[in-house]
């Protein structure tokens, strides 16, 4: 198979899919928001049907209250997104947000998030993933990696060795999963920490809630309640230090938000 059309296709994707994250970072996004929103909606509906939903009216009301408070602080276009949240009967302390504003939080999160600020920290972090289009970026990377793999294999079959194939893929920036996907995943998490902590402050929540949340996550892990997120997210101690370093900058932001009338009062 001739590699030239595949390489040309990859080049076209790279040229046509440039974007910028809310932090100013360059992104490669080759799928539309409409496509991702549809994927998010379909996945969310499947989860509603296959996973056990919580019937705890108090937890459902708290989750809705926190999301509503966060949405007010989002950019105007994001405020128009129909944000939904479900509480899932799952003891693992975790939460998620899908493109299109579909969110979920497990009942296990209440074991570590004891205040509205701590629950806001994890939900704002998930909202930040959506605002930064991290899911679209990840899908685009996987799409491009598939194209690059085909191109490299075709090229190596005709002209070079397996070793040079790996070099070619490295030059394309799409080498192996360990070289591309995992570093980006950690980058996404760090970016969501930065954006999420600011969002919660602009909504009137205490930004130090993010610090307390991760301290509680580590304590819970030490006592045997290992959270899945601890295995994939950045080093928890480094994360706490970074979150704590931003508190002094963000606390006046939260105070200004409360002075402007943004005073969340979500009962835990």
Instruction: Supply the residues annotated as catalytic.
Output: 126
What is the spatial order of strands in the sheet that 95-98 belongs to? 84-88, 102-106, 95-98
Who contacts 39 (Cβ-Cβ below 8 Å, separation ≥6)?
98, 99, 135
What is the Cβ-side half-sphere exposure of residue 162, based on CA atoms within 13 angstroms? 0
In angstroms, how far apart are the furthest CA atoms of the chain? Answer: 68
CA distance 183 to 39: 24
Distance CA 76, CA 234 (A): 30
CA distance 242 to 194: 9
SS3 helix, strand, coil % of the chain, rounded to 5? 65, 10, 25
With contact defined as beta carbons under 8 Å apart, do 175 and 96 qualify? no
Nearest to 41 by CA among 88, 98, 126, 94: 98
- Residue for token pair 């490669």: 28
């Amino acid at each position: 198979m001739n590699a030239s059309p595949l390489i040309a296709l990859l080049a076209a994707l790279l040229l046509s899919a440039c974007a910028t994250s809310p932090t100013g970072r360059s992104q490669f996004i080759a799928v539309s928001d409409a496509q991702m929103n549809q994927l998010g909606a379909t996945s969310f509906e499947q989860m509603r049907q296959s996973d056990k939903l919580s019937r705890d009216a108090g937890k459902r009301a708290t989750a809705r209250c926190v999301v509503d408070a966060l949405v007010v602080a989002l950019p105007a276009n994001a405020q128009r997104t129909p944000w939904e949240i479900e509480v899932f009967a799952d003891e693992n302390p975790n939460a998620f947000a899908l493109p299109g504003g579909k969110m979920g939080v497990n009942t296990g999160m209440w074991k570590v998030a004891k205040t509205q600020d701590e629950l806001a920290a994890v939900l704002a972090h998930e909202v930040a993933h959506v605002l930064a289009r991290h899911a679209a970026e990840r899908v685009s990377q996987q799409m491009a990696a598939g194209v690059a793999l085909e191109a490299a294999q075709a090229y190596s079959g005709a002209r070079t060795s397996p070793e040079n194939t790996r070099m070619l893929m490295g030059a394309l920036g799409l080498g192996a999963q360990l070289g591309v996907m995992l570093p980006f995943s950690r980058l996404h998490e760090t970016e969501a920490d930065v954006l999420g902590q600011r969002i919660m402050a602009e909504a009137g929540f205490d930004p130090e809630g993010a610090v307390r949340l991760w301290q509680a996550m580590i304590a819970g892990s030490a006592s045997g309640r290992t959270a899945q997120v601890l295995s994939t997210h950045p080093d928890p101690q480094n994360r706490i230090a970074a979150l704590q370093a931003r508190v002094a900058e963000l606390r006046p932001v939260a105070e200004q938000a409360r002075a402007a009338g943004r005073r969340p009062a979500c009962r835990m």
